[in-house]
Amino acid sequence: MSSATLGLDIGGTKIASGLVGLDGTVAEADATPTLGSGRQVVDQVAEIIDTYRTRHPIDTVGLAVPGGVDPRTGIITAAPNLAWLGLDLADRLHTHLPSSIFVHVDNDAGAAAWAEHRFGRHRDGDSLLLVTVGTGLGGGVVANGALVRGFTGAGGEIGHLPLLPGGRTCECGSHGCWEQYASGQALHRAAQAAGWDTATAGYDILRAAHQGDSEAADVVAGVAAHLVHGIMILTAILDPARVLLGGGLGTDPLFHFFVQEAAAQAELTPPRARVPLHPASLGVMAGVIGAADLARHATCGIATRA
């Protein structure tokens, strides 16, 4: 793949990587557990890049990281799981890498949204809202064909939308954040409260709901309703052409059924009688694909920011 760009999606538990072609296809995809945090992960990222460089003439690297990235400076403004607050990751990597290698850093959910916009199954149109529902809740926004990063780079951090003021305490220190009511951890907590007191409570109650357990169905429907409530707020503000659900829970067919049911029952006002709601299509490599494509655009001076 002579025209490929290297993409890495750096998470708190694993680092996914691959060579991404101009058409969004991925070659030599790999994933490795994240080793610690801070400087240790920087060294690990440099080693992964060097491994690819031994096999390919790489001159452009795109990195997707959790948390905010200042769009003007590339400095990480929030990444609690990796202890990278205030880090200029591209600059730090260049202590390991040749200066000729261009390194671009972006938010992971934003990169995934960009990948879906550019290469996903539902890529028609110039706007979309991606809501990633995994253990937590995140997202990315594409508007008028550009990725919305915001002034500080925190655009799309939708998990901390104050859904219920004065509600549950969130890890961020606020109360009532959307993530506390519509995420994998929220489903797990609701399942345990309903008596599914196991390590896999969230999945167990989801399966029971589909097997006809009415109590389980009510619990899952409650989490789905909170998810749709937040989506309604965002669609009223953003007016996207479509909404995509990503993440392990968001793309689960069992959960998606309840989300569609909640959306059908929601009171949406004209002119948006119903915003199309689909599962995201690129799976676990979306961040890798988006990071690489954003880096490629940056090297060409093509704007991707709204």
pLDDT by residue (tens digit) across 291-305?
999 999 999 866 565
pLDDT of residue 3: 61
Quick: pLDDT tens for 41-55.
999 999 999 999 999
Q: What per-residue string of b and e applies to 31-59 under the rule 16 or more CB within 10 Å gives b?
A: beebeeeeeebbbbbbebbeebbeeeebe
Which tokens sit at 280? 């995201």
Residue 293 lies in a domain: no
Quick: pLDDT tens for 195-224.
888 888 888 888 898 899 999 999 999 999
pLDDT of residue 306: 56
Same domain, 129 and 105: no
pLDDT of residue 203: 84
More confident residue, 154 or 246: 246
Same domain, 268 and 145: yes
Q: Report pTM.
A: 0.88
Going by the DSSP 8-state scheme, the letter that residue 179 receives in this structure is G
Q: Is the pLDDT of residue 269 over 60?
A: no
CATH number (domain holding residue 78): 3.30.420.40
Mean pLDDT over the full length of the chain: 90
SS3 category, 69: strand
Same domain, 102 and 187: no
pLDDT of residue 293: 97
Q: Roughly what angle, to the nearest 10 degrees, separates helices 201-210 and 184-193? A: 80
Residue 289 lies in a domain: no
Residue 152 lies in a domain: yes
Q: Are 275 and 114 in contact (CB under 8 A)?
A: no
Same domain, 128 and 89: no
Nearest CA-CA partner of 256 in 163, 138, 161, 131:
131
Same domain, 131 and 98: no
Structural domain harbouring 42:
5-111
Domains held by the chain: number? 2
pLDDT of residue 272: 52
pLDDT of residue 305: 58
Residue 224 phi/psi, 5° resolution?
A: -60, -40
Same domain, 51 and 191: no
**Domain endpoint, select from 111, 142, 157:** 111
Same domain, 106 and 136: no
